Amino acid sequence: MSALAISVQGLTKRYGDKTVVDAVSMDVSEGEIMGFLGPNGSGKTTTIRLMCGLLEPDAGEGRVLGHDIRRDRGAIKRNVGYMTQRFSFYEDLTIAENLNFVAGVYGMEQPRQAVRDTLEDLGLISRKDQLAGSLSGGWKQRLALAACVMHRPKLLILDEPTAGVDPKARRDFWDEIHRLAVDGLTVLVSTHYMDEAERCHRISYISYGRLVAQGTTEQVVRDAGLTTLVLSGEHINDAAEALRDAPGVEQIAPFGASLHVVGRHKQTLMTSVNRVAQSTGVTVTPTETSLEDVFIQLMGQSKDNML
């Protein structure tokens, strides 16, 4: 088994009388890509900041990269690369000039060599003299990643890293993340994209401060215990209307010319769907439950801790 890069127990953070992170416990192995899912305001970013030394917990304990999360926050921060959704760089400087500036901020002993190595590793050599402000979203993202890994961190934090970039750039970005993980870098990434979550080794679903699901995508989908049926035919709109508030039906979602119907109680769900199918003439086909189905289900079951 790989050594643990992160091991925290009972991690808790409060602001006034509101608990935004509520007794979260988690282990993450070295070289593992852990995805964080959850609705906006669920505590994902706060949990990440607690683990990487940017915030001090009100309760709980643990170690990150071999350092105590309370006593050694400075040591943790020095070994973390943190890429936010709105990473800042100087648009009137070139890629190379931006990275030279970052090398100076980190106080690197051989900044020129570090910049050259990073440009090569991230495929930026051909664009090193291009102004950052003229880059497309995908290349700006690659520059941001380069700035975050240039000091060779052991833990990389990605907070909604691919918002606003095209699918090709997102795929290239994830290929790069997996390459870095193979070399031993541990990655924590928060995302709302289900296809990105599925590219993580494991995922953790946090809802309103509580960790409510964790495991591989397959494990999380299996443990949710949902049944998903696809309805198709000329009268699916009539079927959708008839299924609202029907026994066993917990989700109804249009997908192109078909309808996905989801519920936890299989037999009750199938009874309701088959009844409506007979009356409307639509066909019913079972299908695999998706991670998005589980995501929506968990959101519906959770209670907002800010109310």
Mind listing the pLDDT tens digit for each residue in 20-66? Answer: 999 999 999 999 999 999 888 888 889 988 988 889 999 999 999 99
**Phi, psi at 36, each rounded to 5°:** -110, 120
Q: Note the CATH number of domain 4-221.
A: 3.40.50.300
Whole-number pLDDT of residue 97? 95
For residues 261 and 231, the answer to whether their CB atoms sit within 8 Å is: yes
What integer is the mean pLDDT of 180-195? 90
Whole-number pLDDT of residue 302? 59
Return d(Cα 188, Cα 123) in angstroms, integer. Answer: 23
* pTM of structure: 0.88
**Phi, psi at 276, each rounded to 5°:** -70, -35
Return d(Cα 206, Cα 148) in angstroms, integer. Answer: 25
Highest mean pLDDT among 86-100, 163-177, 220-234: 220-234
The conformation of residue 126, written as its DSSP 8-state character, comes to G
What integer is the mean pLDDT of 284-289? 95
Residue 157 vs residues 39, 48, 284, 305: alpha-carbon distances, Å: 18, 8, 43, 25
Whole-number pLDDT of residue 298? 86
Mean pLDDT of the chain: 91
Is the pLDDT at 306 greater than 60, yes or no? Answer: no
Q: Are 4-221 and 227-288 equal in CATH topology?
A: no
Strand order in the sheet with 4-15: 18-29, 4-15, 59-64, 67-68
The residues spanned by each domain of the chain are: 4-221, 227-288
Is the pLDDT at 198 greater than 60, yes or no? Answer: yes
Q: How is domain 227-288 classified at the CATH fold level?
A: Alpha-Beta Plaits (3.30.70)
3-state SS assignment for residue 144: helix
The conformation of residue 103, written as its DSSP 8-state character, comes to H
Whole-number pLDDT of residue 200? 95
Is the pLDDT at 157 greater than 70, yes or no? Answer: yes
pLDDT band of 67, cuts 50, 70, 90: very high
The conformation of residue 224, written as its DSSP 8-state character, comes to H
